A and B are shown apart, each in its own frame.
Chain A
Amino acid sequence: MPELDRSVLTSSPELPRSRAREILSNQQFLLFVVLIALMTYFYTRNHYFFTVGEFQNIFTDFSGYALLAVGEMFVIVAGGIDLSVGSTVAVSGVLGAWVMNGMMNGHWNQFWVLVVGTIICGIVGAIVGLFNALMITKAKLVPFVATLVTLSAGLGFALLFAQFFNSGQPVGNDPAAAVFSSKAIWVFTYPSIFIIAIVVIAGIVLHLTRYGRYTYAIGSNSFAARAAGINVQRHVGSIYVLSGFLAGLTGMFYFMQLGSGAPTSGDGFELTAIAAVVIGGASLTGGRGRMSGTVLGVFVLTVVTFGLVFINVPPAWTQIVVGGFIALAAALQSLRPSGRKSA
């Protein structure tokens, strides 16, 4: 936790800032260059890369990680961490699938099934987030431990529910949802349009509203934020609920992809979300980072992960390349002039 407001340092004119350093420090610009280079490389390996169909795939996969990373972004900017999002995807997907399956057996209209399913998944996610919030703000557990509890227990519940509803197999069978989720306007599938809209709103909230400014303030220095009259406890609690809610919606997204709620969906996704936020330039110590960086981070991870599959590279390499990106992002952060990019 930075004890000093570092913006004071950046604004002092006597600090030397070379031009090269400044370009290097613009992590988003670099990420963008890397992204274009990657895509060009994939194109040279297989010319079908720049097709509408492939970009639909990319935006679909992007959507799966995007909401998790956005929720994680809020948490990380506020100086916390949320490890539970992967399990939240699983538990909300399984419970949502159970409700939707019941509605389908009752011959509800498919549209309303999906609407209610989305609401249920969001609520289940928010409840998991609330549990995190209570453990952190009331029971005073550190976020890492509190969300580790829900990561573990959440997955356990997802498995228990799946066992109870469908003897351990994925719950529900709704192939129409899978078909609907692949319908697209140009490169944007229906779910990805919905999710991109949420990402834009989240960006506006983080950068242009009081809620966002409080988030940065708490992440920079929670003592100062409290002294400035911010209800730190309530704000931090609400961020974990938000992160849970977005993870719940992601559970719905994967239900639609698969046409059923699988307890294994979301396994390990929390690390992908955190990786995207870090690659996007946010600092794990809080108070620093931009939503556009996180969005680029998710995009780079998606293109790397599935682009390598596209050109038939063995899966182990994907992990290594992603690791390389995280190392690069960390190196850039240490190079960067010690100033806050945003507040």
Chain B
Amino acid sequence: MFDKATEKVYFSDNVVSGGMNGSSPRFMNKGNQMISLKNPKGAMRVAGTMALAGVLSATSLVALGAQTAGASKTYTIAFNVGVTSDPFFLTMRAGATAEAKKLGVNLEWQGNVNYYSPATQLPFLQSALASKPDALIFAPTDTKALEPITNQFVAAGVPVFNVDSGNANQKNIVSWITGNNVQGGQAAADALAKAMNYSASGTYNVVIGVSSVTTSTDAARLAGFKAEIKAKYPKIALKNVFATNSVSATAISDINQALSANPGATGTASGLSGIFAIDGTDAAGAVAALTAKGKLGKVALVGYDAYATSVSQLGKGGFSALIAQQPYLEGQLAVKAAVSYLKNGKSASAAGIMHLNTLANKVLTATTSASVLKKYTYRTK
């Protein structure tokens, strides 16, 4: 689009250094020649930041790799999750890392940093397959799409475990350690009804914020919630389910809309009585919106996941209740099951492993004791 006559090529004798892995950011021009920036001063600041970030990621990788301990046979376990930056999976990683250290096995933690999708998860699984681990533990981002790669692992003699989410076909999965999302949704409905002081004489308008209606965990929670209000709370009207795609800003806008659309008193047909924020980003958005509108503590709010900031708002009128999963325990149990399976001649019965290990969710409220809160709060260490 710009004047060709002014196009200049600068050969790489002063390439700006820095970057993710110490490599230099070089720019290819049309002739495939390596070119560098003519005046790298401005870019230096960016490059400096890149270098800093590179060091940061390198340190965390070193920390991760330092868990190899001396044992007769050091097993290597590949642990693959949906999104490595999610506090839920960070907590799971902490549990898995602690257990791996205790048992003296090598843990390879992998996953896309941001995108929760089978397309972004598959390459990590393929590279794990190439490295031939002793076992694979993974949280599939799709119930069906990752079955072919699962079969490849099994064919290569690598036992496969599911954690959190699971494959639709569980036949070749040794064990699946998961939270019960349907039960979590039911518990959320009960907690919300309680927080709204539900009685048969009122009308309770409720909205739900989900990340995506097609995510298996969100869908299961939603189904549990709907089933419970249908069975027990006929006066709860589910007005809307909005999808935020994990963007808290969208959740704020959506909650604002729900508040404006239902401006009447809580417990009446024209008011908004309750919100079920199905995941962490929705919860953060809901709290921000309610805080800004001065409705915090007036509209009942039940959140999912026990992030530290959410737990701290339990007693202060923020959340009426939180449905806490047990990602730390999930991580721990998954590694434990895998090692036990490997040490017992790859026999699930000899190792005493359940095929499906469902961990109960815990409802946290303002009256929950401090020690229980501490136990369930997600942590990264």
Contacts and interface: CB of A to CB of B under 8 A. Distances in A.
Instruction: Give the one of A1, A137, A164, A236 with max B CB within 10 A.
Output: A164
Nearest to A169: B87
A168 B248 contact: no
A293 interface: no
Contacts of B90: 167-168
A54 interface: yes
14 contacts: A53-B260, A64-B253, A130-B43, A143-B1, A157-B53, A163-B56, A168-B90, A169-B309, A222-B1, A222-B2, A232-B6, A258-B249, A263-B85, A315-B213
Nearest to A286: B1
Given A159-B85, A258-B284, A310-B260, A178 B248 contact: no
Interface in A87-133: 127-128, 130-131
B299 interface: no
A218 to B, nearest CB: 9
Interface in A117-157: 127-128, 130-131, 134-143, 153, 155-157
Contacts, number: 176
A310 B261 contact: yes
B60 to A, nearest CB: 8
A25 interface: no
Given A167-B380, A222-B2, A264 B253 contact: no
Nearest to B256: A57
Interface string B269-291: 00000000000010011001001
A179 B294 CA distance: 8
Given A135-B27, A159-B85, 16 more contacts: A80-B1, A138-B37, A143-B1, A153-B50, A162-B85, A181-B292, A222-B1, A222-B3, A258-B249, A258-B285, A262-B281, A263-B114, A268-B245, A310-B261, A315-B213, A315-B243
A265 B247 contact: yes
Contacts of A306: 253-254, 256-257
B261 A226 contact: no
B37 A139 contact: yes
Interface residues of B, number: 62
B53 A139 contact: no
A248 B57 CA distance: 24
Interface stretch (B150-158, B187-195, B234-242): B234-242
A160 B284 contact: no
B260 A173 contact: no
Instruction: Give the one of A127, A268, A310, A314 with max B CB within 10 A.
Output: A310
B263 A178 contact: no
A223 interface: yes
Nearest to B262: A48
Contacts of A182: 292-293
B242 A309 contact: yes
A11 interface: no
B291 A178 contact: yes
Instruction: Give the one of B29, B245, B261 with max A CB within 10 A.
Output: B261
A142 B1 contact: yes
Interface of B: 1-3, 6-7, 27, 29-30, 35, 37-39, 42-43, 45-46, 49-50, 53, 56-57, 60, 85-87, 90, 113-114, 213, 239-243, 245-249, 252-254, 256-263, 281, 284-285, 288, 291-294, 307-309, 380
Given A131-B46, A141-B27, A156-B113, A312 B261 contact: yes
A323 B305 CA distance: 34
A54 B260 contact: yes
Contacts of B307: 169
Nearest to B5: A226
A179 B43 CA distance: 37
A32 interface: no
A304 B133 CA distance: 50
A162 B50 CA distance: 14
Contacts of B7: 140
Nearest to A260: B284
